[in-house]
Amino acid sequence: MIDARPKASSQLQLCTVKPCGQFPWHIRSTLPVLHLCLLALVFALPAHAQKPTPHISGQAIYNLTQQYVTTAPHRWVGSPDHLKAEAFIKSHFAPEAAKGNLETDTFSASTPAGLLTMRNYIVRYPGKKDGVIVIASHYETNYPLKDIDFIGANDGGCTTALLIELGAYLRAHPPEGYSIWLVFDDGEEAIKEWTNSDSLYGTRHLAAKWSANGTISKIKAFLLADMIGDKDLNIDRDANSTPWLLDLLHQAAKNTGHLANVFKYDTQVNDDHLPFQQRGIPVLDIIDIDYGPHTSALPDGYHHTALDTMDKISPHSLQISADLFLELIRLINQR
């Protein structure tokens, strides 16, 4: 091939002075070789010259998390920052609101602190298949921790940012399969102490509402994002999640090169997926509950402490999580 290229080049110069259809036989005989050489050059182009696969940037999620916790650091239910958090979320979905695809689901919850007004936000991206994939995250901070400097960078902060970036992705790349609904749910945290009645207010309300009006029958999978920004990310195998979705998560991790970041620990987490699991909906909690070193002073690590701050999460971990969610959507659509 090395010798052929200069020869082909010199013969091409001869072609420029010949009328069309009068190529000498020795030039005509080299044209197939030239054609093959050109094809080889095209296929040898570096990967960056080809159209990249669309993805969500972990750095963008991290930057948005920083904006969110700066704008609304102490967003426990009923606080001024809770209202700022809601405004922050809605500000990123003006195009969906204009199309009638942003719903504010307002309800009153009976809590140990009395009746509290809470709001879920549902953003809909219509697909081409009959059915819905729900992706959810709670957006508020822990109510009992309202008197300390708890900002929940990992616990509610980065997952809210992840869903917002998912929305931007879906706006640019509308679903080809099932519709995607993003749910920013309120009141996941207990108001006094975690019990079945004092927790999961937003998803308990939404699951009951959707059961009553028949919406729940459309849901093919309920995917929950919680605490997925930990620098030392390892997503748990949650016993309260549906087995086939756990299998798909493993496959998604394999497909994206993130197997090292899943299923180091087996857990059973009480989280926002439970109200849907209890109604027979396939659910998957994508969570890394093992957050930070466990010491006598911090038995649960950074979880529910003032140390849940931006320096404990990373763009790299958020990139892994974003990759997994996009691949899960693809795999669910293939079923």
3 state DSSP class of 111: strand
In this prediction, residue 324 carries a pLDDT of: 98
Query: Do 14 and 149 reside in the same domain of the chain?
Result: no
In this prediction, residue 269 carries a pLDDT of: 96
Query: Do 42 and 63 reside in the same domain of the chain?
Result: no
Residue 16 neighbours by CB distance under 10 Å = 6
In this prediction, residue 95 carries a pLDDT of: 98
Q: Which residues of the chain have pLDDT under 50?
A: 1-50
What is the residue whose two structure tokens read 């996941």? 188
Query: Do 30 and 85 reside in the same domain of the chain?
Result: no
Query: Do 138 and 45 reside in the same domain of the chain?
Result: no
Contact 167, 57 (CB under 8 A): no
In this prediction, residue 53 carries a pLDDT of: 66
Query: Do 44 and 62 reside in the same domain of the chain?
Result: no
In this prediction, residue 18 carries a pLDDT of: 36
> What's the structural domain count of the chain?
2
Domain residue limits at 10: 4-49
Query: Do 44 and 177 reside in the same domain of the chain?
Result: no
In this prediction, residue 300 carries a pLDDT of: 95
Query: Do 25 and 66 reside in the same domain of the chain?
Result: no
pTM of full prediction above 0.75: yes
In this prediction, residue 33 carries a pLDDT of: 46
Q: Which two tokens stand for residue 169?
A: 């992705």
Strands 114-125 and 102-111: antiparallel
